[in-house]
């Protein structure tokens, strides 16, 4: 039993400075591990792991144990239809992603060099202009130490709050760009703090709307770029072609976003009404790994949800399953409730935490796939004509697959301290300049023409150890991938039964 517990929870130590306070990597890992084992008695984890083991090893995926929950149902949205029934290639790719148990087909690593901007070739290629938008977004989202910054985390939440304000009986709402376009929506209490992301995105919208892009696409595209900008973040399938919210349709319905004080069951139901199942929900709230809170508890404003908010790692999950709150971090009550829901969402937390803190741990690979799977669905909520969208995933930045620590800060590399700038709404006009910085840094995306540079990127990266080539990550080239693949199938089966 112990050996299984060990193999489920342990991983090779790899750490980066600041990953967990001041503890050296080995100690940090041992600490987490010890804490998990210590909690085991109290939370009957041995029994839980035994349960997981039975479900995954004794019963094959196709033959659930008598009385067990049925395999998760794939709920169709928009005009999606089963793959292989005459739909478009986009339909089949999305359905392949939704049906894939561990989400590995919901990320792609194809590379792309766009035609020159403002040429006919660029105009003819839907994805071309998005490549230039990406070039403007990456420096907005990147901290000078190579991690993702406050604007990136706010943009990730912005994407969720635009798309997630929807349920399956509504004919309006969802991923329609209303959070960017309707100046009133962002003022709702549930959206507190998102003015930061909106003010960063509005100038980009103004700069590119003349190219025929939709705000709805920009919001979801920016989310996916922001996630990829965080080291270890997945490169999620990214679709273009959503229609925009129209002012004449009136404000979108309020009250559809989660309350962190709510009961876990209520939250699960809220997301089920958005066609998002509990496994997807657990994967999606993992975005808190890159998040901070400012308004939920104003007495602890700016505390991150784990000790590495600039990295898309699984520390969020491992902290919560070990019931530990590293100094300076903060846990939302809802996240605590999900992680403690034995024989339910806790199993998914355990699977995601598996192997932390290696960047290529099974948990990380598992989570990246499942996050992408959940987010592809989320990013399409409320979109009617999904089949005719265009896949532009290839324009996303090349993901940073391993990360050994923030770059040594060059003297010229100053952290950008963004303030919420006064960006006049497009309805009121204005120049759309985003400025910020206790260091006097001024960054104006509307003026950032051509491929932009990461602020401070004049120095060569010293600690971003390597970026796994696309081929290697898609084709299971490395031993870690092989290991991950084996464990993935096992965990996918576990999760399917667990939730």
Q: How far apart are CA 15 and CA 221, in angstroms?
A: 30
From candidates 291, 357, 382, 399, binder to ligand HEM by CB under 6 A? 291
Identify the residue whose tokens are 């009250």: 255
Q: For residue 496, what are its two tokens?
A: 């399917």
DSSP alpha helix (H) spans, 276-421: 278-285, 315-321, 333-340, 345-353, 362-378
Instruction: Name the segment binding ligand HEM (CB under 6 A); options: 69-77, 136-144, 154-162, 467-475.
Output: 154-162
Distances (CA, A) of 172 to 163, 176, 246, 252: 11, 8, 10, 7
Instruction: Name the segment binding ligand HEM (CB under 6 A); options: 117-125, 291-299, 436-444, 488-496.
Output: 291-299
Indicate whether 292 belongs to the interface with ligand HEM (CB under 6 A). yes
Binding pattern for the stretch 360-399 against ligand HEM, x by CB under 6 A and - elsewhere = ----------------------------------------
Instruction: Name the segment binding ligand HEM (CB under 6 A); options: 20-28, 241-249, 290-298, 461-469.
Output: 290-298
Binding pattern for the stretch 455-484 against ligand HEM, x by CB under 6 A and - elsewhere = ------------------------------
Which residue lies nearer to ligand HEM by CB, 332 or 381? 332
From candidates 267, 365, 416, 448, binder to ligand HEM by CB under 6 A? 267
Indicate whether 222 belongs to the interface with ligand HEM (CB under 6 A). no
Q: For residue 366, what are its two tokens?
A: 């598992």
Q: Is 436 helix (H, G, I), strand (E, B) or coil?
A: strand
Q: Is 45 helix (H, G, I), strand (E, B) or coil?
A: helix
Q: For residue 499, what are its two tokens?
A: 């939730």
Spatial CB neighbours of 210, under 8 Å, sequence gap ≥ 6:
none
Q: Taking Cα atoms as reference points, which of 271, 283, 267, 280 lies closest to residue 352?
A: 283
- Residue 228 bridge partners (DSSP): none
Indicate whether 148 belongs to the interface with ligand HEM (CB under 6 A). no
From candidates 28, 29, 153, 207, binder to ligand HEM by CB under 6 A? 153
Indicate whether 498 belongs to the interface with ligand HEM (CB under 6 A). no
Q: How far is the CB of 1 from ligand HEM (least distance, A)?
A: 33
From candidates 186, 222, 279, 284, binder to ligand HEM by CB under 6 A? 284
**DSSP 8-state secondary structure symbol assigned to residue 101:** T
Instruction: Name the segment binding ligand HEM (CB under 6 A); options: 93-101, 118-126, 285-293, 358-366.
Output: 285-293
In terms of Cβ atoms closer than 10 Å to its own Cβ (0-12, 13-18, 19+), residue 135 is buried
In terms of Cβ atoms closer than 10 Å to its own Cβ (0-12, 13-18, 19+), residue 123 is middle
Q: How far is the CB of 251 from ligand HEM (least distance, A)?
A: 21
Indicate whether 156 belongs to the interface with ligand HEM (CB under 6 A). yes
Q: How far from each other are the two terminal CA atoms of the chain, in whole angstroms?
A: 23
Indicate whether 334 belongs to the interface with ligand HEM (CB under 6 A). yes
Instruction: Name the segment binding ligand HEM (CB under 6 A); options: 18-26, 153-161, 207-215, 313-321.
Output: 153-161
Dihedral sign of CA atoms 374, 378, 384, 385 in order: negative
What's the angle, vertex CA 291, arms to CA 290 and CA 294, rounded to 5?
160
Which residue lies nearer to ligand HEM by CB, 16 or 160? 160
Which residue lies nearer to ligand HEM by CB, 129 or 227? 227
Radius of gyration of the chain (CA): 22
Q: For residue 479, what is the enclosing H or E element?
A: helix 479-498
For helices 150-163 and 195-208, angle between their N-to-C axes, nearest 10 degrees? 80
Which residue lies nearer to ligand HEM by CB, 236 or 457? 236
Q: Taking Cα atoms as reference points, which of 346, 170, 353 lies closest to residue 254?
A: 170
Could you tell me how far CA 346 lies from the centroid of its own chain?
19
Instruction: Name the segment binding ligand HEM (CB under 6 A); options: 112-120, 282-290, 346-354, 385-393.
Output: 282-290
Q: How far is the CB of 199 from ligand HEM (least distance, A)?
A: 13
Q: How far is the CB of 462 from ligand HEM (least distance, A)?
A: 27
- Total chain residues near ligand HEM (CB under 6 A): 22
Residue ranges binding ligand HEM (CB under 6 A):
153-154, 156-157, 160, 193, 258, 260, 267, 284-285, 287-288, 290-296, 332, 334
């Amino acid at each position: 039993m112990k050996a299984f517990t060990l193999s489920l929870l342990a991983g090779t130590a790899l750490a980066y400075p600041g990953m967990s306070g001041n503890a050296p990597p080995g100690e940090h890992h041992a600490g987490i591990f010890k804490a998990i084992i210590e909690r085991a008695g109290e939370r009957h984890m041995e029994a839980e792991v035994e349960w997981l083991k039975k479900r995954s090893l004794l019963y094959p995926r196709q033959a659930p144990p008598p009385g067990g929950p049925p395999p998760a149902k794939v709920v169709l949205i928009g005009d999606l239809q089963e793959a292989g029934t005459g739909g478009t290639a986009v339909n089949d790719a999305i359905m392949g992603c939704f049906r894939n148990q561990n989400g590995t087909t919901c990320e792609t690593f194809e590379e792309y060099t766009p035609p020159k901007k403002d040429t006919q070739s660029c105009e003819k290629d839907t994805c071309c202009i998005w490549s230039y938008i990406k070039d403007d977004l990456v420096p907005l989202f990147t901290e000078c130490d190579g991690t993702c910054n406050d604007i990136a985390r706010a943009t990730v939440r912005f994407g969720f709050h635009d798309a997630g304000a929807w349920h399956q009986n509504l004919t309006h709402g969802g991923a329609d760009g209303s959070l960017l376009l309707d100046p009133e929506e962002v003022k709702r209490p549930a959206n507190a703090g998102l003015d930061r992301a909106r003010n960063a995105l509005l100038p980009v919208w103004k700069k590119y709307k003349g190219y025929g892009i939709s705000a709805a696409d920009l919001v979801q595209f920016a989310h996916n770029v922001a996630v990829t900008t965080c080291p270890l973040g997945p490169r999620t399938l990214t679709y273009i072609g959503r229609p925009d919210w129209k002012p004449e349709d009136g404000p979108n319905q309020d009250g559809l976003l989660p309350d962190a004080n709510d009961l876990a069951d209520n939250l699960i139901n809220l997301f089920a009404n958005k066609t998002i199942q509990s496994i997807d929900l657990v994967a999606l709230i993992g975005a808190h790994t890159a998040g901070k809170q400012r308004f939920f508890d104003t007495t602890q404003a700016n505390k991150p949800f784990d000790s590495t908010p600039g990295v898309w790692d699984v520390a969020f999950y491992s902290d919560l399953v070990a019931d530990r709150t590293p100094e300076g971090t903060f846990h939302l009550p809802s996240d605590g409730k999900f992680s403690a829901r034995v024989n339910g969402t806790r199993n998914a937390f355990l699977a995601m935490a598996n192997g932390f803190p290696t960047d290529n741990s099974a948990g990380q690979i598992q989570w990246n796939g499942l996050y992408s799977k959940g987010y592809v669905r989320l990013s399409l909520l409320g979109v009617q004509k999904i089949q005719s969208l265009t896949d532009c995933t290839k324009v996303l930045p090349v993901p940073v697959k391993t990360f050994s620590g923030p770059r040594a800060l060059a003297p010229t590399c100053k952290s950008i301290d963004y303030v919420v700038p006064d960006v006049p709404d497009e309805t009121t006009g204005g120049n759309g300049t985003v400025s910020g910085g206790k260091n006097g840094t001024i960054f104006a995306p509307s003026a950032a023409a051509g491929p932009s540079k990461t602020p401070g990127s004049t120095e060569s990266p010293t600690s971003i150890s390597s970026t796994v080539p696309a081929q290697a990550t898609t084709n299971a080239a490395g031993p870690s991938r092989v290991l991950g693949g084996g464990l993935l199938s096992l965990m996918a089966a576990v999760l399917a039964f667990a939730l």
